[in-house]
Amino acid sequence: MKISFEIIGKVDSGDVSKISMENNNGVVISTLTTGVTLQEFLVPTETGALKNIVLGFSDYEDYYKNNLYTCQSVGRVAGRIGKASYTHDMVRYSLPKNEGENCLHSGPEGMQFQNWNYVTNLTEEYVETKFVRRLYSSVDGFPGDMSVSITYRLNNSNCLSIFFDAFDVTETTVFNPTNHVYFNLSGKQDLSSHELQIYSDYRLELDSELIPTGQKINVDGTNYDFRKTTDLLPRIEANNGFDDAFVVRGETCDHVKEVAILHDKESGDGIEIFSNRNGLVIYTMDIIEDNIYFARDRGTIAKGREAIAMEAQTLPDAVKHKGFGDIILDKGHSVNYEIGFQYFNSSK
């Protein structure tokens, strides 16, 4: 187990740091204090070289020059909240608008736009980095102040776990964060060799603004049916891309459950995704802005559908719909969420 630190820049709130954690198998996880960003998920190849299986930028400032939220920790609430408002206990709360009339990923001052403090911990079984920040209603526009910690933990079984903890809440509020991770398990700029399985029988019906209507649609016999391992690219093409929420099987619980498997048939690299919540949003990066260069592409301009975002969370707009899950966090209470990314290679 190893850990290293590097100051890579400065913002108004202090130094921007890169923290790299390595396990005994040579898997490396690099994170940034800005946005609690997963910059690198490096895995060894047959030649001994390291391959980054997530998208990322070399310069931390480049994360804020587009609208991709690349591998950042988004919140307080991930996804869209329709009309940028909700009602709880007969009180209507207005939130920041940043996508038309809606609030996407908590608006322009969400967690992903802030620089975080951190501490590290090294043991024989795992290495971890814990990021901590106080979120203020006066800054992000959500009700109440709260403290949040986000912990990245890498163990010797090649599992990266991300823990989201919210506590010291001054007013009843909402909390439903995720990591907006983009995976490409191959060395190519497309998903042609990828296959996907999602443990889901239903997806959410969305309106023209991608806001949930409140209805759940059976995936049987549709392009959304990933219950069995399925080649991904043909489905992307047939469906003209995905930006959709799947209802994963099993109840929301304290312990994580497997919700999806992404696998690259050529390299054998794969990721099993675990979560203790009821939703998985997938986004295939169908529309991409100009002049985006991901570090893994070595100077080649980014391409649409180059990667797939897999965001484990409570179902989007849950605060509006009965049966979508509870994201209300009462004053004085705390909550913990967990996402797990288990790396494997099927050819080893």
Is there a binding annotation on residue 180? yes
CB 82 within 8 A of CB 204: no
Is there a binding annotation on residue 88? no
In the chain, alpha helices (H): 137-140, 232-239
Q: 124 CB contacts (<8 Å, ≥6 apart)?
A: 1
To the query of whether residue 263 is one of the catalytic residues in this protein, the response is no
Pick the closest to residue 143 from 104, 85, 98, 97 (CA basis).
85
Return the C-alpha torsion angle 290, 181, 271, 155, nearest 10: 130
Residues linked to residue 240 through DSSP beta bridges, in sequence order? none
Distances (CA, A) of 335 to 83, 113, 138, 164, 256: 26, 22, 22, 8, 14
- Secondary structure in 3-state letters for 121-134: EECCCEEEEEEEEE
277/77 Cα distance (integer angstroms): 13
105/36 Cα distance (integer angstroms): 14
Distances (CA, A) of 39 to 70, 142, 182: 9, 27, 10
Which position has the token pair 């690219």?
233
CB 182 within 8 A of CB 71: yes
Burial level of 77, CB count in 10 A (0-12/13-18/19+)?
buried
Q: Which of 105, 180, 194, 263 is catalytic?
A: 180
Q: Which of 40, 128, 195, 311 is catalytic?
A: 311
To the query of whether residue 180 is one of the catalytic residues in this protein, the response is yes
The three-state secondary structure class of 293 is coil
Return the C-alpha torsion angle 218, 242, 276, 55, nearest 10: 160
Annotated binding site for beta-D-galactose: 180-182, 243
| Residues catalogued as catalytic | 180, 311
